[in-house]
Every structure is written in structure tokens, then in C-alpha cells.
């Protein structure tokens, strides 16, 4: 199999895709050994209705957005029709959940339709989430409720627009059936698009079974699919490990830059491609608090905001462990090499985080005092319960002049807390010759005005679930397409929650 030609057919395929509701699948994963997945057929649903089709993404994939929203497309997006050429498989994977190894998880309610090479030449998985039971469902019903589907839609598309690597949302449909959770809820299916659905847990699954052949096939596959320029060193496992480490160092730095808390950083939710994967009880910070968790099941704060770099390193160590037999035939040597690579994570993370935070503060050069300035600001924000997004957006004004000093200072419980720091920050800005307007413009490109705030997500879910009103969902999705632009007409969506609007916990809702 030649994966190096994976990206060559995109442009030529464009016209073919456009014709009707045809999918030109090219399913490379299905061609791997068949113990990597199970063949499944989506379960039928009663009365599927499209809630949303992501037109732009559909076009990128070479699909006709109109056809996707038609009855024929709805049948595919709801699992009622399996299009010709689809793989229709559930992937096997294991994973460490909250630190404990579970040897078999797998796609319990997700079905991979297949892979499409888009008009941009990129290969992507198209997956139905909530499409019914699979051999990996364990006790679950294989279904998804509307609330979590809308959450994932909004959050993943927001992350994309913010510039953070992420899986995407192609569509959401309601099924017309009910699902039983704590309460009875409308069922829905989410169509997810991802660079791939390979996870750290995929490797752990085969490592735990001592299936070296599957592990080797998977390793070469992952390297050639995601990091083709790193193949050919003669040690695919080490090359893959190094690249996944680098990708996650950058990813978590970006999460911290936008105030994102993943919420369930289990190894089965840690992608090999370096994309944000599996939006469950995730959330964006309102007030800055490095200890913050929202997830109702994270009682000890394992996945708290500030723990995320350390947890990413832990997860990558699990990938390294799974790859050990392929890294070197001599176990001791393999451990030595793998440990060395894992120990490089903090340095890679710090470098990536430094780049993110310097840009947020308007610095284009690196100076000695920068790390201290970031640390002092965050410490003060923590003490003064400052809204993370408003503060950094406010600093864009402060970079231009002093007119907004008082209003930004008012974000601090003790407004005087800002001034000492702001003076040192302005001294530091003065070391770089850049016109204040230009600097402010550059800062507005990295400090969003809009994030998917928790209370707005709750509000749109309530409207959709209780009143079938998708207006708030549409409005938020639209605003979040341009998170770095002012958009005065939806200024309310930039506001933090009032006291009574605060959301203290989020749920997986699976
Ligand atoms: P998650 O918490 O969504 O990352 O899922 C963890 C594991 O539970 C995965 O193996 C999922 O496929 C499985 N799972 C979650 N929800 C369901 C469900 N409703 N039915 C079957 N399996 C599920
Ligand atoms: Mg998961």
C-alpha cells in the first residue's frame, strides 16, 4: 500500500464529488489488518431531520452541501443509508481513563463511514457519532443526546476558527428517537471529521495484547498518514513518538492560550494527529483559575486547566510504553530512548507556550523578562478573579493608549492590581519598535473577543432541547466563525456570565 500518494487525488476528484450525493471514499484504514476494527451497520432511526450542515467544510471535503441537507443526504447523516463505498467500521482502542488502564474501549457509538480526500488534498475521516451499538458498546446504547451533539458542534468549530488544531463538525441531525440518560432526551447524531481517529489508546490496545504485527502496521500507517516527512528514518516508532510529542506540546500551549479545558484527557481521547479530540465536558475559562475543572466526574481535579501540560506528558508516556518493543529490540535501550524523548516534552511545551503568550501580550521578540511578566499577570488574574478572555482582549486597547486603563482595571477585584504590572508591560513593549496601532491589530488577531462561553452553550442547549428552538445555536455558531472580530451586533455573546448565569459543572452527557 502506498500511503505517500494519499494526498495526490484531491484536485482531480473535485468535479466528481460535486455531481450528487456520492462519496468518493478511499478507505485506507479498512485495508489494515481486520482485527483493528469491527464491521458494523448503523442502526436505523425514526424521523431524521438535519439541524445543521457545515457548508464550508462540506465544500472542502468535495461534497455538495445542498445534497447533504436533502432527504438523501439526511439518510446518510442519520445512518439510515450507508453510501456505496463506505467502510462502516468501528475502531478498536483501549485507554487510560483517569489513570487506570481499560484494555477495551473502542468506538461504542461511533461508526467510521470512510475517508475522503478533500479539494485541499487532505485526507480526513468522516464518522457518525451516536449511530447505534457496536461490538464495543459494552453497556451503552450507542446513541447520543442532542445537547452533547450541539456542544461538540459549537466547540469544535469554535476551536477551528480560533486556530487550534481540532476535529471538525460536518453536520448534526436529530433522530426523532428519544435517548434515556438521567432524563429522557431527544436523540441526535453528530458527523465528525478528523485527520484520523487514531488515538494513543489505539496503540495501547495492541500493545496490551502483545500484538506486535498490528502495532507495527499501525505505527507505519500513522506516520505515513500524519507525518509523512518523518518517515524513512528506519525507526518509525521513534519518529512517530517524537512527532506526536511535538504536536501535543504545541496543542496544549494553544489550549492554554485560549483558556480551554479539555476535561477528559484520557489516553483514548488523545489523538495521534495532534488534533483536539472528543469534546465531552470541556469548557472555556471565564475567570482565570489554573485549578479550574468543570467536569462533574473530575472530582480530584486531575484534568484541571493548569494540569493539562503535565497530563499530556503522562499520556505521551503511555504512547511511548506501547511503542517500546518497536523502538529498540533491547528493552533497556528502548526505555532509555523513550524516556529521553518524553523528558523533552516540558521544554517543547514551554517554548510553544512562550510563543503563544508573547503574541498575546503583543511581543514579537523574546526577552528575558517575558516569562516573569506572563507569570505575574496570571497570578494577579487568579487572585483578582479576572475574566481570561476580556482581559487579553482589553490589553489590545491598552497597547494602543491609556484611554481604556480604568475599564480594564475594573476587571480585577482590586482594580489597583493592574497598574504596576501594566507599567512594566509597557516598558517591555517599548523595547520593540512597532506602531501602537499595528501592535494592537496584531494582538487582536490572537486575543479573541468571542469564545463559546458555558452559559451560552447551556442556553442554546436548553432552547433546542425544550423548545426545538435552534436560533441561539445558529447565532452562536455564526458569531464564533469570526472570533477575533468585534461584531458589535452580538456583543452580548462576548460577555461573561452574570452571577446567576454561571455554570459550575459540565457533564459528559454520553
Ligand atoms: P467518551 O467518554 O465519550 O470518550 O467514551 C468513552 C468510551 O465509552 C468509548 O469507548 C465510547 O465509545 C463509549 N461510549 C460512550 N458513550 C456511549 C454510548 N452511549 N453507548 C456506547 N458506548 C459509549
Ligand atoms: Mg472518547
At 504, is the pLDDT very low, low, confident or very high (cuts 50, 70, 90)?
Answer: confident
Distance (Å) from CA 278 to ligand 2 centroid: 5
Distance (Å, whole) CA 354 – CA 350: 6
Distance (Å) from CA 508 to ligand 2 centroid: 10
Check whether residue 416 and residue 485 sit in a common domain: no
Residue-wise pLDDT for 447-487, tens only, equals 999 999 999 999 999 999 999 999 999 999 999 999 999 99
Q: What is the pLDDT of residue 12?
A: 44
CB of 508 shorter than 6 A to ligand 1: yes
Which residue CA neighbors atom 23 of ligand 1 most closely? 108
Distance (Å, whole) CA 324 – CA 210: 11
CA 210, 214, 216, 218 torsion: positive or negative? negative
Check whether residue 274 and residue 414 sit in a common domain: no
Q: Quick check: helix, strand or coil at residue 505?
A: coil
Distance (Å, whole) CA 207 – CA 229: 25
Check whether residue 145 and residue 44 sit in a common domain: yes
CA-based max dimension of the chain: 65
Q: Any idea which ligand is nearest the CA of 271? A: 2
Tell me, yes or no, if 370 is annotated catalytic: no
> Average pLDDT, stretch 282-301?
94
Check whether residue 175 and residue 100 sit in a common domain: yes
Distance (Å) from CA 108 to ligand 1 centroid: 5
Domain membership of residue 101 (yes or no) is yes
The residue range of the domain holding 463 is 454-501
Is the CB of residue 142 less than 8 Å from the CB of residue 132?
A: yes
Q: What rounded mean pLDDT belongs to the chain?
A: 95
Check whether residue 150 and residue 42 sit in a common domain: yes
Instruction: Using a pLDDT cut of 70, give the percent of the chain over it.
Output: 95
Instruction: Give the chain's domain count.
Output: 4
Domain membership of residue 149 (yes or no) is yes
Check whether residue 207 and residue 119 sit in a common domain: no
Check whether residue 117 and residue 41 sit in a common domain: yes
Domain membership of residue 4 (yes or no) is no
Helices assigned H by DSSP within 259-299: none
Say what angle helices 308-327 and 212-226 make with each other, to 10 degrees: 120
CB of 105 shorter than 6 A to ligand 1: yes
Given a cut of 70, is residue 445 above it in pLDDT?
Answer: yes
Given a cut of 80, is residue 344 above it in pLDDT?
Answer: yes
Q: Which residues surround ligand 2, an ion (CB under 5 A)?
A: 269, 278
Q: What is the pLDDT of residue 283?
A: 96
Given a cut of 90, is residue 2 above it in pLDDT?
Answer: no
Q: Of 196, 230, 265, which one is at a domain's C-terminal end?
A: 196
Which residue CA neighbors atom 13 of ligand 1 most closely? 108
Say what angle helices 146-162 and 471-479 make with each other, to 10 degrees: 20
Distance (Å, whole) CA 278 – CA 152: 8
Domain membership of residue 2 (yes or no) is no
CB atoms within 10 A of CB 293: 22
To test the pocket of ligand 1, the residue of 89, 202, 510 to mutate (highest count of ligand atoms within 8 Å of its CB) is 510
Q: What is the pLDDT of residue 378?
A: 98
Distance (Å) from CA 499 to ligand 1 centroid: 33
At 294, is the pLDDT very low, low, confident or very high (cuts 50, 70, 90)?
Answer: confident
At 15, is the pLDDT very low, low, confident or very high (cuts 50, 70, 90)?
Answer: very low
Domain membership of residue 3 (yes or no) is no
Q: Of 196, 213, 243, which one is at a domain's C-terminal end?
A: 196
Domain membership of residue 231 (yes or no) is yes
> Average pLDDT, stretch 59-70?
96
Cell matching residue 294:
468543570
Is the CB of residue 226 less than 8 Å from the CB of residue 243?
A: yes
Q: Quick check: helix, strand or coil at residue 125?
A: strand
At 11, is the pLDDT very low, low, confident or very high (cuts 50, 70, 90)?
Answer: very low
Check whether residue 22 and residue 133 sit in a common domain: yes
Which atom of ligand 1 approaches the CA of 134 most closely?
A: 21
Domain membership of residue 277 (yes or no) is yes
Distance (Å, whole) CA 114 – CA 127: 7
Is the CB of residue 145 less than 8 Å from the CB of residue 277?
A: no
Task: Return the higher-pLDDT residue of 500 and 145.
Answer: 145
Cell matching residue 393:
482582549
Q: Of 161, 196, 231, which one is at a domain's C-terminal end?
A: 196
> Average pLDDT, stretch 259-288?
97
Distance (Å) from CA 183 to ligand 1 centroid: 18
Instruction: Using a pLDDT cut of 90, give the percent of the chain over it.
Output: 92
Given a cut of 70, is residue 266 above it in pLDDT?
Answer: yes
Check whether residue 292 and residue 306 sit in a common domain: yes
CB of 347 shorter than 6 A to ligand 1: no
To test the pocket of ligand 1, the residue of 101, 103, 108 to mutate (highest count of ligand atoms within 8 Å of its CB) is 108
Q: What is the pLDDT of residue 9?
A: 44
At 508, is the pLDDT very low, low, confident or very high (cuts 50, 70, 90)?
Answer: low
Domain membership of residue 141 (yes or no) is yes
Residue-wise pLDDT for 351-383, tens only, equals 999 999 999 999 999 999 999 999 999 999 999
Distance (Å) from CA 500 to ligand 2 centroid: 31
> Average pLDDT, stretch 436-453?
98
Check whether residue 105 and residue 238 sit in a common domain: no
At 21, is the pLDDT very low, low, confident or very high (cuts 50, 70, 90)?
Answer: confident
**Pairing mode, strands 37-39 and 89-91:** antiparallel
Distance (Å, whole) CA 39 – CA 111: 9
Distance (Å, whole) CA 123 – CA 7: 7
Check whether residue 29 and residue 151 sit in a common domain: yes
At 20, is the pLDDT very low, low, confident or very high (cuts 50, 70, 90)?
Answer: low
Rounded to 5 degrees, what angle do the CA atoms 32, 35, 338 make? 75
Distance (Å, whole) CA 424 – CA 369: 10
Cell matching residue 124:
480526513
To test the pocket of ligand 1, the residue of 95, 98, 109 to mutate (highest count of ligand atoms within 8 Å of its CB) is 109
Q: What is the pLDDT of residue 509?
A: 53
Check whether residue 340 and residue 461 sit in a common domain: no
Given a cut of 70, is residue 13 above it in pLDDT?
Answer: no
Catalytic residue among 64, 107, 125, 268: 268
Amino acid at each position: 500500500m502506498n500511503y505517500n500518494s494519499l494526498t495526490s487525488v484531491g484536485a482531480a476528484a473535485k468535479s466528481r464529488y460535486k455531481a450528487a450525493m456520492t462519496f468518493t471514499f478511499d478507505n485506507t484504514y479498512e485495508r489494515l489488518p481486520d482485527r483493528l476494527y469491527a464491521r458494523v451497520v448503523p442502526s436505523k432511526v425514526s424521523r431524521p431531520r438535519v439541524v445543521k450542515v457545515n457548508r464550508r467544510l462540506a465544500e472542502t471535503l468535495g461534497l455538495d452541501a445542498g445534497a447533504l441537507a436533502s432527504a438523501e443526504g439526511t439518510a446518510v447523516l442519520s445512518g439510515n443509508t450507508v453510501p456505496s463505498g463506505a467502510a462502516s467500521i468501528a475502531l478498536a482502542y483501549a485507554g487510560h481513563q483517569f489513570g487506570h488502564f481499560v484494555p477495551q474501549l473502542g468506538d461504542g457509538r461511533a461508526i467510521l463511514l470512510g475517508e475522503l480526500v478533500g479539494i485541499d488534498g487532505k485526507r480526513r475521516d468522516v464518522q457518525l457519532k451516536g449511530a447505534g451499538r457496536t461490538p464495543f458498546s459494552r453497556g451503552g446504547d450507542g446513541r447520543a443526546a442532542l445537547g452533547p451533539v450541539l456542544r461538540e458542534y459549537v466547540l469544535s468549530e469554535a476551536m477551528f476558527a480560533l486556530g487550534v488544531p481540532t476535529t471538525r463538525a460536518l453536520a448534526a441531525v436529530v433522530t426523532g428517537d428519544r435517548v434515556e440518560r438521567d432524563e429522557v432526551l431527544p436523540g441526535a447524531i453528530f458527523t465528525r471529521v478528523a485527520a484520523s481517529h487514531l488515538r494513543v489508546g489505539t496503540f495501547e490496545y495492541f500493545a496490551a495484547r502483545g500484538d506486535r504485527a498490528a502495532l507495527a502496521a499501525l505505527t507505519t500507517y500513522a506516520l505515513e498518514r500524519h507525518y509523512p516527512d518523518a518517515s524513512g528514518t528506519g525507526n518509525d516508532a521513534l519518529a512517530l513518538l517524537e512527532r506526536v510529542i511535538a504536536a501535543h506540546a504545541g496543542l496544549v500551549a494553544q489550549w492554554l492560550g485560549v483558556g480551554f479545558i479539555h476535561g477528559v484527557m484520557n489516553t483514548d481521547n488523545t489523538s495521534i494527529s495532534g488534533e483536539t479530540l472528543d469534546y465531552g465536558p470541556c469548557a472555556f475559562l471565564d475567570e482565570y483559575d489554573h485549578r479550574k475543572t468543570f467536569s462533574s466526574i473530575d472530582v480530584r481535579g486531575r484534568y484541571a486547566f493548569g494540569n493539562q501540560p503535565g497530563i499530556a506528558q503522562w499520556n505521551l508516556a503511555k504512547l511511548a510504553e506501547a511503542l517500546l518493543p518497536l523502538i529498540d529490540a533491547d528493552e533497556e535501550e528502548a526505555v532509555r530512548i523513550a524516556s529521553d524523548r518524553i523528558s523533552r516534552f516540558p521544554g517543547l511545551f514551554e517554548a510553544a507556550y512562550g510563543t503563544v503568550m508573547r503574541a498575546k501580550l503583543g511581543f514579537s521578540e523574546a526577552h528575558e523578562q517575558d516569562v516573569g511578566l506572563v507569570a505575574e499577570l496570571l497570578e494577579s488574574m487568579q487572585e483578582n478573579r479576572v475574566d481570561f478572555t476580556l482581559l487579553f482582549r482589553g490589553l489590545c486597547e491598552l497597547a494602543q493608549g491609556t484611554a481604556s486603563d480604568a475599564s480594564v482595571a475594573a476587571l480585577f477585584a482590586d482594580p489597583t492590581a493592574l497598574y504596576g504590572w501594566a507599567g512594566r508591560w509597557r516598558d517591555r513593549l517599548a523595547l520593540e519598535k512597532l506602531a501602537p496601532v499595528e501592535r494592537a491589530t496584531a494582538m487582536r488577531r490572537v486575543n479573541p473577543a468571542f469564545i463559546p462561553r458555558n452559559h451560552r452553550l447551556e442556553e442554546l442547549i436548553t432552547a433546542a432541547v425544550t423548545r426545538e428552538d435552534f436560533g441561539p445555536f445558529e447565532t452562536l455558531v455564526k458569531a464564533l466563525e469570526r472570533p477575533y472580530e468585534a461584531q458589535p451586533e452580538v456583543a452580548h455573546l462576548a460577555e461573561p456570565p452574570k452571577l446567576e448565569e454561571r455554570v459550575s459543572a459540565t457533564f459528559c452527557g454520553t
